[in-house]
Amino acid sequence: MDIQAYIESGVIESYVLGMADSQEAAELEQLSRQHPEIRKAIDAFELALEKTALANAMPPPAHVKEQLFASLDGDFRQDTKMAVGAKTFSFTRYMAAASLILLLGSAALNVYFYTQFRASSTAYQALLIEKSTLLSENQNTQTRILDMYGSMQMMSDPTVAKVSMPGVKGKENSLATVFWDTKSKDVYLLTNKLPEAGPGKQYQLWAIVDGKPVDAGVIGACAGLCKMKNIPKASLFAITLEKTGGSPTPTLDQMYVAGKAG
């Protein structure tokens, strides 16, 4: 088990902040007994929270303190004129006032700690989301890089035939390229330059086999090369714009590019 990766996973922060579920908490408690570094990380995070709280402690408002001591001062002056038996009552009032001061201070700290907890919890959740997003983006980037590397290797393979498909008349700005593996007969398509298909529309690749069009697949959302259908033989490839999902036969007046194979 990678202890450092486990410590950095965020489970310790969730546990200390009370957001870990029972299974996570039980697992962490067991591991902390087995691995001193995990116990040390828990203690360090708890200490950091405590230091933050004490550094930003909010005392009760000054006017509350002034009112309490003014009341005590009045009680003290009155109590000095009373009999010894009444001093017991005065002492009780002093104790009540002192308790009130402690209660107010405790309430203020409770409010502060609760506010800090909510703020820390929100910030922690945001960090977890950001971390998850970054990991996902990193994985997606790595996947795209691997796909691009594989595509470059495939395109440079001498057994892969390159079929350039320039734009037909009226669509001269369009361009696409077919990479046809002459051994496996797998077909890959690179849409160099095609207009946006638009809502309800989708481009479709065709292979002309023995003078007849054969569906080679619709073009979906793919980065770089698009894997199309396997085509054993063809004399020409072309792309038409069809309704979403493709068509059993090509719409010839919607042809954008075409190119001879071989």
- Residue 82's pLDDT is what? 47
Tokens of 171: 């669509």
Tokens of 180: 């046809």
- Residue 85's pLDDT is what? 46
- Residue 93's pLDDT is what? 53
Rounded CA-CA distance 54/38 in Å is 25
pLDDT by residue, tens only, the chain of 262 residues? 788 888 887 788 778 767 678 888 888 889 989 999 999 988 888 787 666 655 555 555 555 456 555 655 555 455 444 444 444 445 555 555 555 555 555 655 565 566 666 666 666 666 667 766 766 665 555 545 445 545 555 566 778 889 999 999 999 999 999 999 888 999 999 888 999 998 999 999 999 999 999 999 999 877 678 889 999 999 999 999 999 999 999 999 999 999 998 7
- Residue 159's pLDDT is what? 84
Residues 225, 259, 228, 182, CA torsion sign: negative
Decide the pairing of beta strands 187-193 and 212-218.
unpaired
Rounded CA-CA distance 67/60 in Å is 12
31: CB partners within 8 A, 6+ apart = 6, 38
- Residue 9's pLDDT is what? 79
- Residue 137's pLDDT is what? 62
From residue 49, alpha-carbon distances to 46, 130, 228 in Å are 5, 21, 56
Rounded CA-CA distance 251/256 in Å is 10
Q: Are 41 and 12 in contact (CB under 8 A)?
A: yes
- Tell me the one-letter amino acid at 51: K
Which segments of the chain are extended strands (E)?
160-166, 175-181, 187-193, 201-209, 212-218, 226-227, 236-243, 255-260
Residue 233 has phi, psi (to 5 degrees) of -155, 155
Residue 70 region by backbone torsions, left for phi larger than 0, else alpha for psi between -120 and 50, else beta? alpha
Q: How many CA atoms lie within 13 A of 196 on its CB side?
A: 3
Residue 10 has phi, psi (to 5 degrees) of 100, -5
Q: What is the DSSP string of 128-152?
A: HHHHHHHHHHHHHHHHHHHHHHHHH
Sheet holding 201-209, edge to edge: 212-218, 201-209, 236-243, 255-260
- Residue 14's pLDDT is what? 74
> What one-character DSSP code corresponds to residue 167?
B
Neighbours of 204 (CB within 10 A): 24
- Residue 245's pLDDT is what? 94
Rounded CA-CA distance 107/146 in Å is 58
Query: Which domains does the chain carry?
Result: 3-150 (no CATH), 160-260 (2.60.40)
